[in-house]
Structure 1
Amino acid sequence: MRRTALFVTALVALAVALVSCSSETPGDATSGDGDGTSVQIPTEGGDSETTEPPETSESGTGSADSLEPCELFSSDDLAALSLTGGQEEELAGARVCLWQATDNHTVSAGVWANLGIDDVQSKTPPEPKTVGSRPATQYTGELGVCVVALELTETSRVDVTAAAQGDLNKACSIANQAAELVEPKLP
């Protein structure tokens, strides 16, 4: 059983690593070219002071920052998916919660505060879709991992990932079922 748990954890980590790549470089800019980041301003006497841009109502990540991945499934949802546990980890820049099922499949939900569905990088072409009324994309990873990425904003998303011991059809069926349960809970 421990060996299966380690294998499943490795699968989820692999899936997160595969999708964490983006064509954008995350981080804070330091130039003062009007990009909305803090700027060092020289003052008299050779000192400098840091000024912050005015706060805006749309940070692009506010809704992602408020989500707790382990709270995205209710106890009824967990029962419907035969899931137990719920262990949160930080993996490749996402806050991820992993659940194990009694029939050896796993499901995870990962909150990406700085990467939207258009930032998905996958070896298989992502397939655009709609889950509920929300834009989404589905793609597969190595070792039979299936991911449904749900848009929060243009620059944030929730990935619902399933692995079913290499059975891609089963993994995608579970990922889609899980995404349908998560979607109504998203802001």
Structure 2
Amino acid sequence: MNSGRGKCNMVAATVLAALVSSCSSGEQGIAQPSDSEDVSPDRSVTLAPSSSGSIGTTIDPCELVSAEDIAQYGIFESEAKQLGSARSCFWQRSPEGRQGVSTFSLNVRDRESIDAVKDVGGGLVAGEVNERPAVVAENPSSGSCTVAVKLDETSRIDITITTPPDRDEGSCQFGQDVAYLVEPRLPELP
């Protein structure tokens, strides 16, 4: 019997429960923006899809999160990159203040839906982020986690946590925190 696989399934079930539930009671868990939270217009994306048909082409991943948004986790610096067909923004926690390493990325995939998310060893868990379809893929061998959030039928944004700011919290929990921060700033589902 493979006890590692059972452990992955238990983690996947926990992640699904966390994605589907909301934390409005003040309990610890996924941070959801309240209805009264101010989302500054300079980071809110509401453009119509481009001629290519994908909403994803209107999104700059580096504009979705500011240093202030994630200040509770430390001082991060961002860098825009092209990663294969994805437009990406990589965030790394600065070594200032003797902080441990922490990295994550936002990857806009204009031609890949959430149905194309690959199982990287921990299974795929379907759920929602603020009622928007999402899929979680955890990699148990590397400790990384991706929360893929639907943009439209042909595109998605991946929040990939390589190293969480708090190793006890886990990559998928931090990925969900970032997903709930990013989701209100995405274009509405068509």
Highest RCO, 1 vs 2 (Cα 8 Å, sep ≥ 6): 2
Report the aligned-residue RMSD: 2.4
1:156 Cα offset (Å): 0.2
**Residue type matched to 2:71 in 1?**
A
Q: Does 1:117 align with 2:117?
A: no
- 1:53-103 deviations in Å (ceiling 9; x for gaps): xxx988541x21110011111343131332411101111210110111243
Provide runs of 4+ in structure 1 moved above 4 Å.
Answer: 56-59
TM-aligned CA distance change 1:137 to 1:58, over 3 Å: farther
**Match status 1:108 vs 2:105:** yes
Counterpart-to-counterpart distance in 1, 2:50 and 2:157: 21
Which structure dedicates a bigger proportion of its chain to helix?
1
Structure 2 letter corresponding to 1:137: V
Unaligned runs of 5+ in 2: 1-48, 94-98
8 Å contact from structure 1 (residues 145, 164) kept in 2? yes
- Partner Cα distance (1:59, 1:68) in 2: 16
Q: What code does the residue aligned with 1:154 have? A: E
For residues 60 and 127 of structure 1, do their structure 2 counterparts lie closer, same or farther at Cα, with a shift above 3 Å needed?
Answer: farther
Aligned to 1:179: 179
Please report the TM-score for the alignment, with normalisation by the length of structure 1. 0.63
Shift of 1:155: 0.9
**Deviations 1:8-44, CA, capped at 9 Å, x for gaps:** xxxxxxxxxxxxxxxxxxxxxxxxxxxxxxxxxxxxx
Residue 132 of structure 2 is aligned to residue 134 of structure 1: yes
Conserved 8 A contact 1:83-1:99: no
**Count, aligned residues:** 131
Shift of 1:135: 0.5
* Residue pairs, 1:70-85, within 5 angstroms: 70-85=62-77
Whole-angstrom distance in 2 between the partners of 1:131 and 1:58: 27
Q: Using a 3 Å threshold, how does the CA distance of structure 1 residues 150 and 73 change in structure 2: closer, same or farther? A: same
Larger Cα-atom Rg: 1
Aligned equivalents of 1:83 and 1:64: distance in 2? 28
